[in-house]
Structure 1
Amino acid sequence: MTTEFTTLVQELRDLDLYLAVEADVQSGKVGVRMRIAPGVLAVAMPRLVVRPLVENAIRYGLAGKPGGGAVTIIAEDAGVEAVLTVEDDGVGMDPARVAERSGLGDVDERMRSAFGLEYALLVETAPDAGTKVTLRLPKG
Structure 2
Amino acid sequence: MKKQWLKKRILIWIRAMISWSCLALILLFLILLKPELTESILYTVIAWSMLFSFFLMLAIGKVMILEPLRTIRKKIELFNDGIIFTEIFKNLEGISPDTDALLLKVHTILDKDKIMENAKQQARYLALQNQINPHFLYNVLESIRSDAIMAGVPEIGKITEALAVFFRYTTSKMESLSTLQEELNNVENYFLIQKYRFDDKLELKIKLPRNDEEILKTRIPKLTLQPIVENAIKHGLEPKVSGGTIVIDIEHSETVLYLSVVDDGIGIEETRLGCLNEKLSRMDANDTSANEGGKGGIALINVNSRIRLLMGDEYGIHILSTPRIGTEVCLTLPYMFEQTEGIG
TM-score (norm 1): 0.90
Q: What is the match of residue 18 of structure 1?
A: 190
Tell me, yes or no, if the aligned pair for 2:267 and 2:325 is still in contact at 8 Å.
Answer: yes
| Cα displacement string for residues 56-109 of structure 1 (whole angstroms, at most 9, x for unaligned residues) | 111110011142111000111222222111000100112135352111111111
Structure 1 residue 117 and structure 2 residue 313: aligned?
yes
Indicate the structure whose relative CO is greater, using CA pairs within 8 Å and at least 6 residues apart. 1
Pairwise mapping of residues 66-105 of structure 1 onto structure 2 (< 5 A)? 66-94=241-269, 95-98=273-276, 99=279, 100=290, 101-105=297-301
5+ long unaligned stretches in structure 1: none
Residue 127 of structure 1 deviates from its aligned partner by: 2.0
Structure 1 residue 29 and structure 2 residue 29: aligned?
no
Tell me, yes or no, if the aligned pair for 2:240 and 2:266 is still in contact at 8 Å.
Answer: yes
Q: Tell me the distance in 2 between the aligned counterparts of 1:124 and 1:62.
A: 16
Q: What is the match of residue 20 of structure 2?
A: none
Q: Tell me the distance in 2 between the aligned counterparts of 1:12 and 1:26.
A: 20
User: SS at the partner of 2:258?
Assistant: strand
Q: Tell me the distance in 2 between the aligned counterparts of 1:20 and 1:105.
A: 25
Q: Tell me the distance in 2 between the aligned counterparts of 1:59 and 1:24.
A: 15
Q: Which has the higher helix share?
A: 2
Q: Tell me the distance in 2 between the aligned counterparts of 1:88 and 1:67.
A: 13
Going from structure 1 to structure 2, the CA distance change for 1:24 and 1:62 (only over 3 Å counts) comes to: farther
Structure 1 residue 5 and structure 2 residue 183: aligned?
no
Q: Tell me the distance in 1 between the aligned counterparts of 2:196 and 2:299.
A: 19
Structure 1 residue 45 and structure 2 residue 220: aligned?
yes
- The AA in structure 1 aligned to 2:300 is L
5+ long unaligned stretches in structure 2: 1-115, 121-175, 280-289, 291-296, 337-344
- The AA in structure 1 aligned to 2:333 is L
Going from structure 1 to structure 2, the CA distance change for 1:25 and 1:7 (only over 3 Å counts) comes to: farther
Q: Percent identity?
A: 31
Q: Which moved more, 1:29-38 or 1:5-14?
A: 29-38
Alignment partner of 2:238 out of 63, 71, 74:
63
Structure 1 residue 108 and structure 2 residue 280: aligned?
no
Q: What is the match of residue 332 of structure 2?
A: 136
- The AA in structure 2 aligned to 1:96 is G
| Cα displacement string for residues 20-50 of structure 1 (whole angstroms, at most 9, x for unaligned residues) | 2114676221111111232311111111101
- The AA in structure 2 aligned to 1:9 is Q
Q: Which has the higher strand share?
A: 1
User: SS at the partner of 1:58?
Assistant: helix
Tell me, yes or no, if the aligned pair for 1:29 and 1:67 is still in contact at 8 Å.
Answer: yes
User: SS at the partner of 1:112?
Assistant: helix
Q: Which has the larger radius of gyration?
A: 2
Going from structure 1 to structure 2, the CA distance change for 1:24 and 1:90 (only over 3 Å counts) comes to: farther
CA RMSD of aligned residues (A): 1.8
